[in-house]
Structure 1
Amino acid sequence: MIILAVVWPRTQNLKYINYSTAFVPEACSAPGVPVLTFGAGQDMGSIYEFAEQHNITFIGGSGKTVGAAGGWIQGGGHSVLSNKYGMGVDRVRQFRIVTPDGVLRVANSCQNTDLFWALRGGGGGTFGVVMEASIEVVPHPVPTAALQWEIGASLGNVTAILGLITNVASNSDKWVRDGWGGYIYPTYSIVANPSMNIEQAKESLKDLTDLLTRHGIKYNWHEFSSFMPLFEAIVAAPIPFGINAALASRLVPVDKFSSLLKPLTVTKTLETFALAAGKFAFFLTSPFNYNSTEGETSITPVWRKAIWHAVVLADWAYDGGSVAAKLAYTQAGLAIAPLRLLTPEGSAYQNEGDVYEPNWETSFWGSNYDRLLELKQKFDPDGLLDCWHCVGWKGKNTPIASCYL
């Protein structure tokens, strides 16, 4: 908490933002690319507004107030457009960072390359304090075809919700290959495709819209000319806020959607939905179709072949105390268990994972963890920066862990 108290006020003076049409990372000689360079105080909402004004597209997350240079990108950074354009770690071209020895360093593909790799997925609050990020943008507006629907959380709609879950589990492989991304909740959902026109989109999702029609569920097609109106539609979702909540998640890879394993995937998904009491979501935000270079980033390799980032939520009353909180975390872990059993070789997203994730080193980073730990020891040999289940975590018997249940 002390680190947060010191760093947070200073980011308020790091709100600059600049657009370069031909950015070249320092000490590099590669051709320039379109890049936004911004201070650590910039949040998603402000960056999206800037990008809209300059007719460019920033590939970012769905939270307006999330800092774009912090844990979002350092943990991976998924987006509704990641399927085509990659994750945040795929698009970053340079960081300026103060490492625990007090040195301001530039990290990119030409200098401090090991640190650059670690920052591209190794997690926030681990290798230093990022002061600035330079991230490649799409140098034009990205139009999308989008489908939005809302079911309503009433007992009369249980059949429709279960039908939706089965439909999503049965068709997600096709949808992701077709270029779709989005957020599917039991009640409110929106999916978007930057690679199809509206007629192609309607044909691609016909099985889904037929299901919605059979259940009398209203849906709306949209053609967004740029990212900003799509973003506004995403944040219009009635997602709970101001609550105490425990999360757990699982990345479900493509092999679980084969004709042989798909029935089991459907079954385990329905089990998870039941255990989560309906507080469950499919995030179609993996970089499945993005042409990445193997080993270029430090996120778990499972992200590259994932169809779903599946998330469950368990909440508790604000006055429930530690007993209620502990129960909620236990419930979240139990709810995600069927998908863990389905994907024993799978993974989870650190930024939205179970606080008590078993085998967290492998789950969050897979085969990259050992190298990340070596780099943690190189750049922070005294362990100045420590956080729960982060690379190099010191364990439960430390003051920082005393508040965990």
Structure 2
Amino acid sequence: MFLASVFYWAAIALAHSQIRNAPAQWAALNNSIGGRLNVGIPLARPCFALADTAGSINATECAAVRAGWTNSLFLVEQFGAYMNTQWSSCQATSTPETCLIFGLNVSDPTPSDPPNVCQQGSVPLFYIDVQDASDVQTAFAFSKENGVPLVVKNTGHDYIGRSSAPGSLALWTHKLQSLSYDASFVPDGCPASYAKPGVTIGAGAIVNDVVAFAEANNITLVAGAETSVGPSGGWVMGGGHGALANTLGLGVDRVLEFKVVTPTGSFLTANECQNSDLFWALRGGGGGTFGVVLESTALASPKLTLQVAFAAFSRTNTNATRGFYEVLVEHSVTWAEQGFGGYIEPNQALYVTPKLNSTEAAATMQPLFDYVTSLAPNDNGVEILSTEVPSYGVFYETFIAGSGAPVGENAVLGSRLIPAANFGNAMSRAALVDALMQTLAHVTFDLSLIATTPYNVPDDGSTSVTEAWRTAIWHAIAEGGWDGPAPLAEEKATYTNISNAADYLRAITPDAAYQNEADVHEPNHEVSFWGTHYPRLLEIKQKYDPDNLLTCWHCVGYDPQSPRFSCYV
């Protein structure tokens, strides 16, 4: 923590010295926000002797960077850090413009040694550490007047590069970390009859803190699995799935209110009773699109007793994977109906439900336990567990915290929502298992099956995510990537290969994917992300952002010819 603090404050001091020499319009912007404009410095800059960016080589700061490169709780505190490192780079140049070290061997000095040069890439040139609505309003006015691209960055968890852009100004919302609980929250402008228990979450609060807050207040909130994701940021505006989504709904199902600054400069409250069209759009239309959310209020449920099932075998036992998938595919609709949500890797499954008692949970999971146990004579990695925990907080700390998505590498995804129809009969189940095995054979990282769909929460028309979420059993993610700087040809090949891997699942499923964890080149993305809702979303976008100041890759109303996307491959 000390090293992280040293690095942060050194970067801030350097930023202020750079701004004094900035062009006049930037200096004027800095003055207008009380001197809080900062220079965007790539995270690994202190490790490089040669650079085309602000900053300088510094052994102490470099050691902090190397120690924290794969630690999301460190990265989330650094503006110049991106969990998936290619989004700090300009990938499209013949020799990609980067400022990266290796994630798999952070002590290797090769990427940062001369003649390698730290370059700005897609890290925004400047950023505002947002404190209140006026900061955002000022930034919108500056962007419109000067034609400077604007991006919104929160925690840096971004699989499709929405929070970075070359030559841009960023709004960093991570420091907005307030949390408060109101057992009778009434959305502004609504009658008292609307009162519900709600937690108001600042845009920058992270899952770790939100789960701990809920536990301290004896309540339950839906949250993502990765510790440093922002539940009030892009996670919720893109849908927001979590282990309890099966019975409690997606994050968007539970939002009671947003406080948002729109690109026209208005600071609005959006809920069922005012600005209801914007409220609907923010509940699934995507982050960084309709406005900058400063906080949201989420529905709180009582503390829940949960049943947990876990089964695993050795990852090296690849001969067992097909049989494992066959068992999962055979029983997953039943488990979904029983409220189970969870996370599946090719050699393990973690499930949790609030709907059953311990006896019922163990009985329904017996086919899974039987299969994994049958592997034991030849597999010393076999493990099964059926247990009860008193709250989601205990489940999170015991089974999830610290085991989220890898960071510090360049990650590429292919995404698919797999509906119940694919589990409906012997033929469709066999086809699904075949597709899973083919996908797995073509990924370079992993294939994750996320059983966190709102299967028991019907679509009531109040959200703008694709309707396909409601009939999906799994959200499948094909994962690939590369480590550190790489040639353009290798980058392109990785994107193509992972998209091709996902094609095995696309071939047997409708157009539906989770926008926050999607293929950068998702085919037919308007339908895949939003189903029938895209035309209405576009109308709302044009109403609240008529100048398209907020535009991001595959977001509502995006222009693929915009120069801000010049670094995509």
Q: TM-score range by the shorter chain?
A: over 0.9
The aligned residue for residue 100 of structure 1 is 263
Gap change, CA 1:377 and 1:63, over 3 Å in 2: same
Whole-angstrom distance in 2 between the partners of 1:20 and 1:181 = 28
Matched, 1:20 2:20: no
Give CA-to-partner distance per residue, 1:122-177, whole Å, 9 cap, x none: 00000010011011011x211111122332321xx112222112221222111111
Asked if 2 retains the 8 angstrom alpha-carbon contact of 1:286 and 1:309, the reply is yes
Listed as ranges, the matches of 1:41-190 within 5 Å are 41-138=204-301, 140-154=302-316, 157-190=317-350
Q: How far did residue 4 of structure 1 move?
A: 8.4
* Matched letter for residue 383 of structure 2: K
Structure 1, unpaired ranges of 5+: none
Give how far 1:268 is off.
1.7
Q: Give the whole-Å Cα distance in 2 for the aligned partners of 1:26 and 1:358.
A: 39
* Between 29-38 and 8-17, the greater mean CA deviation after superposition: 8-17
Structure 2 residue identity aligned to 1:179: G
Preserved contact between residue 252 and residue 346 of structure 1 (Cα < 8 Å) = no
Deviation, 1:322, is: 2.4
How big is the alpha-carbon RMSD for the aligned residues of Structure 1 and Structure 2? 1.7
**Which has the higher mean CA deviation after the structures are superposed, 8-17 or 50-59?**
8-17
Partner of 1:299: 465
Return the alpha-carbon distance in structure 1 between the equivalents of residues 483 and 300 of structure 2: 41
Alpha-carbon deviation of 1:221? 2.0
Greater mean deviation of Cα atoms: 8-17 or 345-354? 8-17
**Where does residue 254 of structure 1 map in the other structure?**
420
In structure 2, C-alpha distance between the alignment counterparts of 1:370 and 1:103, rounded to whole Å = 24
Q: Alpha-carbon deviation of 1:266?
A: 2.1
Q: Which moved more, 1:265-274 or 1:345-354?
A: 265-274
Q: Which residue of 537, 541, 544 corresponds with 1:376?
A: 541
1:356/1:291 CA distance change after superposition, 3 Å: closer
> Is the partner of 2:184 in helix, strand or coil?
strand
> Which residue of structure 2 aligns with residue 279 of structure 1?
446
Q: Give the equivalent residue in structure 2 for 1:35.
A: 198
SS in 2 for 1:361: helix
Check the 8 A contact 1:317/1:324 in 2, yes or no: no
Write the distance in 1 (CA, Å) between the matches of 2:515 and 2:220: 26
- Work out the CA distance in 1 between the residues paired with 2:234 and 2:402: 23
TM-score normalised by the chain length of structure 2: 0.68
Give distance in 1, aligned partners of 2:126 and 2:434.
42
1:178–1:204 Cα contact (<8 Å) kept: no
Q: Distance in 2 between matches of 1:45 and 1:302?
A: 29
1:236 Cα deviation after fit? 4.5
TM-score, structure 1 length as denominator?
A: 0.94
Q: Size of the alignment, in residue pairs?
A: 399
Contiguous gaps of at least 5 residues in structure 2: 1-122, 131-152, 154-170, 377-381
Distance in 2, matches of 1:379 and 1:372, equals: 11
Secondary structure of the structure 1 residue equivalent to 2:220: coil
One-letter code aligned to 1:331: N
CA distance in 2, matches of 1:383, 1:31: 34
Distance 1:191 1:229, change over 3 A: same
Q: Distance in 2 between matches of 1:11 and 1:357?
A: 28
2:507 equivalent among 332, 341, 344: 341
Q: Structure 1 residues 4, 94: CA separation in 2 closer, same or farther (over 3 Å shift)?
A: farther
1:264 aligns with 2:431: yes
Which of 505, 522, 547 is 1:357 aligned to?
522
Moved more, 180-189 or 355-364: 180-189
CA contact (8 A) 1:190 1:234 kept: no
How far has the Cα of 1:219 moved from its partner? 1.4
Q: CA deviation at 1:3?
A: 9.3
Matching residue's letter, 1:172: S
Paired position in structure 2 for 1:399: 563
2:493 aligned with 1:327? yes
Counterpart AA for 1:365: W
Assess if the C-alpha contact under 8 Å between 2:445 and 2:480 holds in 1. Answer: no
| Post-superposition offset of 1:193 | 1.1
Is contact 1:188–1:238 with CA below 8 Å preserved after alignment? no
Q: Which amino acid aligns with 1:321?
A: P
Give, as a single letter, the amino acid of the residue that structure 1 aligns with 2:269.
V
Counterparts of 1:321 and 1:71 in 2: how far apart (Å)? 30
1:299-340 deviation digits (Å, cap 9, x = unpaired): 000001101101110121213232222211111101110110
1:199 matched to 2:359: yes
Question: Higher Cα Rg: structure 1 or 2?
Answer: 2
